[in-house]
Amino acid sequence: MRDAPAGTAGSGGTLSLRNITRRFGAHTAVDDVSIDIAPGELVALVGASGSGKTTTLRIAAGYEQPDGGSVAVGGTDITRLPPQKRGFGMVFQHYALFPHMSVEQNVAFGLEARGIAKRTRLERARTALAGVGLGGAGGRPVQSLSGGEQQRVAVARALVIEPRALLLDEPLSNLDPVLRQSMRDDLSALLRRANVPALLVTHDQEDAFAIADRVAVLSKGRILQDGSPTELYNNPASLDVARFIGRGALVPCTISGGRAAVKIGGRELSFPVPRDATVAGGQAHAILRPELVELADAGAADAWQGMVLARRFAGSTMVYRIELAPDVVVEVTGGDDQAQLGARVGVRPRGVPVPVVGG
């Protein structure tokens, strides 16, 4: 029990995954993945199920051994160190709270494993619980907690050991949508306060964008792109990344001279591309997002023609789903009552830069 490292917040240094590879038989689950996470930085690993993100997390935690590559913290190699000696805080997808212990016993468990006296550890557990807004819940059985409360207990349990790094496996995926919104902010604040490297795995790019400093998109075990949410949103490195981020129709275009031209239904319209776009010319795809296009009158000369398939009320605006061609459907934000269902309308670029992606 003494061998468990007593990590001190912020002192652990950078968490580095270098060229991590993991094979299951003939299938390569993780393929040459490298990520560096600085103390206080929150990196989200996003990808569809089966993309290798959970395996990567489990390798970082020590539950799996990589076939190649290394895991290091603050420059010390810990690839072969078992989980109980890493001093990482982990939050599991279903929280993995010990059902036979009370809330504070759960939170105190990591301190118990470190041989800390009962009184001290329960005191610290209560402090940690207060830190996640569960001050009075220490004596309750964990089964009596709601999903959101369980999640916060799991976070408190991971934080109270003053971990050298935090690892979170789909921490928000079991919460209902309303709770999810508020937990994003709470979680983000808590993780930043811990001031250690934090790696979060999620299949939900909205969660990732909302709380992470950096997002790494994983597909088939490989990192497709690793950058800030804005970078990924405005300048996706590939069609796959663009598709994963979504929130926009991918429409083939031709690029020349800082402008992209899109031809739909025999009508070609052009619009500017961002100055830092990586594609300078030739064939590409434009990402027509709802806020980059607007509705126009049916038959307008400077608009593509289409029909309203659906309308979705989104608070201050209305989102219209419009079919421009049999395989081209775009979403457009507009005013409350701009077009009826089934109406013929025009759609045109607003004239602001539209992100493009090569291929």
Partner 1 sequence: MRRPAAGTWLLALPVLLLLAWTVLYPNAAVIVGSFEGGLSHWREFMASPADREALTSTLVISIASVAASLVIGVPLAFLLTRFEFRGRRALRVVATLPAALPPLVGVISFLFLYGESGVVTRGVQGLFGMEQSPWRLTGLWAIVFVHAYTMYVFVFLFVSAGLERFDTSLDEAAAGLGASPRHRLRRVTLPLLLPAIAGSMLLVFMNSLGSFSAPYVFGGGIRVLSTQILASKLNGAMGLAYVETTVLALSAIAALGLFRLLQRKQRVVSTGKGTITRRAIRSRPLQLVLGIAGFVIVIALILPHLMVVLVSFARDGAWTTQVLPPEYTLDNYRRLATDAQLWRPISNSVVMALIATAANIVVCFLAAYLLVLRRFSARPILALLVALPWAIPATAIALGLAATFNQNDLWTGRIVLVGTFWILPLAYFIRNVPLVATAAESSLRQLDPALEDAARGLGASWWLTMRRVVIPAARPGLIAGGLLAAVTAVGEFVASIVLYTHSNRPISIEILAQLRALAFGTAAAYSVLLILLVLAMAIGARTVEEQYA
* Pattern 68-87, partner 1, x by CB under 8 A: --------------xxxxxx
In terms of CB distance, is 1 or 301 closer to partner 1?
1
Residue 181: closest CA among 158, 204, 198, 153: 204
Check residue 96 for interaction with partner 1 (CB under 8 A): yes
Q: How many C-beta atoms lie closer than 10 Å to residue 217's C-beta?
A: 28
CB of 64 to partner 1, least distance (A): 10
CB of 59 to partner 1, least distance (A): 13
Site for partner 1 in 192-231 (CB under 8 A): none
Check residue 320 for interaction with partner 1 (CB under 8 A): no
Q: How many angstroms separate the CA atoms of 311 and 321, rounded? A: 6
Which of 27, 100, 193, 350 lies at the binding interface for partner 1 (CB under 8 A)?
100
Q: Is 296 exposed, middle or buried (0-12, 13-18, 19+ CB in 10 A)?
A: middle
Which of 36, 67, 72, 92 lies at the binding interface for partner 1 (CB under 8 A)?
92
Site for partner 1 in 134-153 (CB under 8 A): 141
Residue 150: closest CA among 163, 158, 55: 158
Phi, psi of 254 (to 5 degrees): -115, 135
Which of 15, 30, 61, 190 lies at the binding interface for partner 1 (CB under 8 A)?
61
In terms of CB distance, is 122 or 347 closer to partner 1?
122
Residue 232: closest CA among 249, 212, 252: 212
Check residue 22 for interaction with partner 1 (CB under 8 A): no
Check residue 280 for interaction with partner 1 (CB under 8 A): no
User: Near partner 1 by CB under 8 A, which window of 65-73, 95-103, 145-153, 219-227?
Assistant: 95-103
# chain residues binding partner 1, by CB under 8 A: 31
* Single-letter amino acid, residue 114: R
Check residue 117 for interaction with partner 1 (CB under 8 A): no
Which of 27, 94, 193, 344 lies at the binding interface for partner 1 (CB under 8 A)?
94
Tokens matching residue 212: 């992470």
Check residue 1 for interaction with partner 1 (CB under 8 A): yes
What is the DSSP annotation of 233-274?
HHS-SSHHHHHHH-SSEEEEEEEETTEEEEEETTEEEEEE--
Q: How many angstroms separate the CA atoms of 192 and 232, rounded? A: 22
User: Near partner 1 by CB under 8 A, which window of 14-22, 91-99, 187-195, 333-341?
Assistant: 91-99
Residue 359: closest CA among 230, 224, 159: 224
User: Near partner 1 by CB under 8 A, which window of 112-120, 145-153, 202-210, 239-247?
Assistant: 112-120
Residue 79: closest CA among 68, 89, 87: 68
In terms of CB distance, is 90 or 137 closer to partner 1?
90
In terms of CB distance, is 96 or 210 closer to partner 1?
96
What is the DSSP annotation of 317-339?
EEEEEEEEETTEEEEEEE-TTS-
**214-219, strands of its sheet edge to edge:** 89-91, 166-169, 198-202, 42-46, 214-219, 222-227
Query: Which residues would be at the binding site for partner 1 (CB under 8 A)?
Result: 1, 3-4, 61-63, 82-90, 92-94, 96-100, 109-110, 112-114, 141, 157, 161
